[in-house]
Amino acid sequence: MELLLPFLIGILFSVSIYFILHRHLFKLIMGLILFGLATNIFLFVVGGLTNGDVAIIKKTHEVAVVPYADPVPQALLLTAIVIGFGLQAFAIVLIRKVYQSFKSNNLDDLHKAE
């Protein structure tokens, strides 16, 4: 699986970039969400993968017993996911508002409307 993941992330990145470059507002949001997702998994993989072992200290011990997962990327990821959600929510509402105001789903029309 470690070997497959980089390819999966690459595909995710490609699709998200393709959507972001799209002129349609809706696809822009989807692209952003996918891009965030791809970045999260990317970070996770870069931090090193451990198959199945969690980052929790067992009841019987006072320190963690090898093997255990690296908690640092996980903590980073948690933050990233939550912040990403804030961004997504804001973007969705913003685009809804833009659509309401301009009655257009085309990014280029916004440029002209200025």
Q: Which of residues 79-108 bind another protein (CB under 8 A)?
A: 79, 81-90, 92-97, 99-108
Number of residues that bind another protein (CB under 8 A): 88
Shortest distance, position 22 Cβ to another protein, whole Å: 8
Neighbours of 9 (CB within 10 A): 19
Shortest distance, position 41 Cβ to another protein, whole Å: 6
Shortest distance, position 17 Cβ to another protein, whole Å: 4
User: In the stretch 46-85, what mask flags binding to another protein with x, by CB under 8 A?
Assistant: x-xxxxxxxxxxxx-xxxx---xxxxx-xx-xxx-xxxxx
Q: Map residue 16 onto helix, strand or coil.
A: helix
Q: Is 4 in the site for another protein (CB under 8 A)?
A: yes
> Do 26 and 105 form a contact (C-beta atoms < 8 A)?
yes
Return left, alpha or beta for 27; rule: phi > 0 is left, psi -120 to 50 is alpha, else beta: alpha
| Cα 16 from Cα 22, distance rounded (Å) | 10
Shortest distance, position 75 Cβ to another protein, whole Å: 4
Q: Map residue 4 onto helix, strand or coil.
A: helix
